[in-house]
Amino acid sequence: MSTKRPGPTKAPADGPKRRKMLPISDKVKLLDMLREGKSYAAVARHYGINESSVRYIKKEEKNIRTTAAVNFNTNAKRVVTVRNKTMVRMETALALWINDCRKKNITLDTNVICTKARMLYENFAVSDGEEGEDAGPSASAADTVGEDARPPASAADKVPSAFNASKGWFEKFKKRFGLKNVCLHGEMASADTAEAEAFVNNKFKAIIEEGGYKPKQVFNMDETALFWKRMPSRTFIMQEEAKAPGFKVHKDRLTLAMCGNAAGFMIKPGLIYRSKNPRALKNKNKDELPVYWMYNAKAWMTKALNLDWFKNCFIPEVKCYLRGKGLDFKVLLLLDNAGGHGNDLAYDGVQIEFLPPNTTSLIQPMDQGVIRAFKALYTRNTLQHLVDAMDSDQDFSLKDYWRGYTIASCLQNIQRAIQEMKTETLKACWKKLWPEAVQNATGGSLDEVHHSAVETAVNLAKQIGGDGFNDMSPDDINALIDGDAQPLTDAELAEMTKPQSDDEREEGEEDTRDEEEGLTLGRLATMVRMATELKRVAEEWDPLMSRSLQFSNVIDGGMSVYKDLFAFRRREH
């Protein structure tokens, strides 16, 4: 009797294969890989999805990037399809405004938020020219990787142009922007002294004792906006720019993530800008910048960027620091409860603790004058930059020079300001949260640093001269420094949420035309030749030989790294 041939093996009855859904943050990374020249097939293999799904995500690129740029909940898998761009823009602006108010301990309740939503919608409807358009944002076909397009929304799904900010809309809005856990029910957002005292005396003290943390192992991070190319409003360069058409560079903002420990050490700051590759940083190695470079279209902290900063800046910087101090990698990181700070930060050896709501102005170390003193130093350094240029150029034009003040110049002044923050001064900002750690702190207070920088800035302004500079006062400088202490205005929200113009893209992005890049052999030869010529003229023109020899020694010391590189490149060539 012949053996019966076995039938075909059946697949396990696990049900239909589920589609793989990528979060928004992964979709953006996928799109970046395509921009860098990776093939559809290679990207599909990397993410374990079909090539057709990759092509579909590429088709939805604009909507995906729009959502990623403004949504704090970047783990979401849903994308907003822009049917009524006024509605989407209003919700984006409203979410930014809420997050900004929360950071500044400004009172919010449901009525205040809905009133703000109606005002923003009316303003944007006029500027967008869409008052008569009857459609609203809805879930797009990009909700699921590879999902087929859905039919158009029915009339019942559409949002009327006469926007009422209803309770139903508000609940959906909170869900869309990951605000469902935000307290928005009329409670005061003013500083909560009792809650702050309870945290300091009970919870924080227990965390330190149980973890055995030393001051060098306890860090705090807070972010702040910096309008990096802004002068006091009365100065003639600001007034002339306000009248000029096109992109207003004084409105160009960046976000700095400033982080330091209770021993007075600050790690490299994180920086979020609106462009990945600004023209002024062309050929620059971003790993060697004085900041950790990040970007999104609105230069705003999101959960995805916060995670990026945590893993790729905070962890390596702190590991290196503690290794140099002979300490174990055991770290406590304190954060406020801002919308851009996700609760998905995790790493072996790192404990994350969130400060209680409405207590940051009372106990958060970075809020105890560090950021304000930094901005005073940055403003002073910017004015010093102008004075130095004026002294070295007989044909100096303030307008021309200010036009050439780029994000690269800004980074230099940020670095100088950070370096000027003394260890003992930075330790003092922990006094309210951890007084035991700073009992022996000496040196000037942060208020003294701020006052000195403002005073110097006023004197520098008078050296520059001209309208608004000649009669500049400390109040003018302080108004510039404290400009972001108030909630974002409707005009600022409009600026932050408007689509990028061609002028802005041209201003921000690097020139990709073919040309020599970096320190080529020819450029190194030019640098060596110029240094030699500089020494020669100093020796020829200076009547004091000792001074010119001292100058030559400084030039030789500074040029040694380039001379060595030149010799190495020449041997290779």
Residue 102 lies in a domain: yes
Which of 202 and 443 is assigned the larger pLDDT? Answer: 202
Q: Are residues 537 and 471 in the same domain?
A: no
59 Cβ contact partners less than 8 Å away, ≥ 6 residues apart: none
pLDDT at residue 504 in the model: 52
pLDDT in tens, 367-387: 999 999 999 999 999 999 888
Please tell me whether residues 495 and 538 are part of one structural domain: no
Tell me the C-alpha distance between 542 and 537, whole Å. 8
Q: Which of 75-79, 124-128, 430-434 has the highest mean pLDDT?
A: 430-434
Same-domain pairing of 68 and 104? yes
HEC assignment per residue over 331-393? EEEEECCCCCCCCCCCECCEEEEECCCCCHHHHCHHHCCHHHHHHHHHHHHHHHHHHHHHHHC
Residue 509 has pLDDT above 80, yes or no: no
Q: Average the pLDDT over 164-190 and give the result.
A: 69
Residue 186: pLDDT band with limits 50, 70, 90: very low
Looking at the fold, whether 536 and 441 belong to one and the same domain comes out as no
Same domain as 459, residue 312? yes
Mean pLDDT of the chain: 80
Domain count for the chain = 3
CA dihedral 422, 424, 426, 429 (to 10 degrees): -150
Higher-scoring residue by pLDDT: 504, 377: 377
pLDDT above 60 (res 188): no
Instruction: Give domain status of residue 55, yes or no.
Output: yes
Tell me: do 529 and 476 sit in the same domain.
no
Same domain, 486 and 440: yes
CA atoms of 568 and 573, how far apart (whole Å): 9
Do residues 312 and 461 both lie within one domain? yes
| Residue 148 placed within a domain | yes
Boundary (domain end) residue, out of 176, 207, 224? 176
Rounded Cα distance between 172 and 160, Å, is 16
Nearest to 88 by CA among 56, 113, 129, 120: 120
Domain that holds residue 410: 193-499
pLDDT at 75: 54
Q: How confident is the model at residue 458 (pLDDT cuts 50, 70, 90)?
A: very high
Q: Residue 452: in which H helix or E strand, if any?
A: helix 446-464
> Does residue 40 sit in the same domain as residue 97?
yes
CATH number (domain holding residue 257): 3.30.420.10
Q: What would the pLDDT profile of 325-364 be if each residue is shown by its tens digit?
A: 999 999 999 998 776 777 778 999 999 999 988 788 899 9
Percent of the residues in the chain that have a pLDDT greater than 90, as a whole number: 35
pLDDT value, residue 145: 34
Residue 119 CA to residue 493 CA, distance in Å, equals 12
- Looking at the structure, do residues 166 and 197 belong to the same domain, yes or no? no
Q: What is the 3-state secondary structure (H, E, C) of 91-148?
A: HHHHHHHHHHHHHCCCCCCHHHHHHHHHHHHHHHHHHHCCCCCCCCCEECHHHCCCCC
- What pLDDT does residue 352 have? 95
State the pLDDT confidence band at 440, using cuts at 50, 70 and 90.
low
- Is 356 within 8 Å of 334 (Cβ atoms)? no
Q: Between 82 and 421, where is the model more confident?
A: 421
Most confident range (mean pLDDT) of 121-135, 265-279, 468-482 is: 265-279
In a domain, 13, yes or no: no
Residue 8 is assigned to a structural domain of this protein: no
Tokens of 562: 């380039």
Handedness of CA 378, 379, 380, 381 (dihedral sign): positive
Q: How far is CA 295 from CA 5, 88, 109, 256, in A?
A: 62, 21, 31, 11
98/117 Cα distance (integer angstroms): 11
Comparing 75 with 546, the larger pLDDT belongs to: 546
Q: Do the domain assignments include residue 80?
A: yes
Query: Quick check: 514 pLDDT over 50?
Result: no
Is the per-residue pLDDT at 154 higher than 60? no
- pLDDT score at 378: 96
Closest by CA position to 253, among listed 512, 511, 510, 504: 504
Last residue of a domain, one of 176, 207, 226: 176
404 Cβ neighbours under 8 A, 6+ residues apart = none
Sign of CA dihedral 502, 506, 508, 514: positive
Domain end call among 499, 534, 550: 499
In a domain, 62, yes or no: yes
- Residue 102 CA to residue 96 CA, distance in Å, equals 10
Say which residue, 376 or 149, is predicted with more confidence: 376
What count of other Cβ atoms lies within 10 Å of the Cβ of residue 233?
Answer: 14
547 pLDDT exceeds 90?
no
**pLDDT tier at 535, thresholds 50, 70, 90:** confident
Give the pLDDT of residue 18: 60
Residue 136: predicted pLDDT: 39
pLDDT for 133 equals: 40
What percent helix, strand, coil does the chain show, rounded to 5? 55, 10, 40
pLDDT per position as a tens digit, 117-138: 999 999 888 877 644 443 333 3
Q: What is the DSSP letter of 154?
A: P
Residues 256 and 146 in one domain: no
Lowest-pLDDT range of 94-103, 144-153, 290-299: 144-153
pTM, two decimal places: 0.67
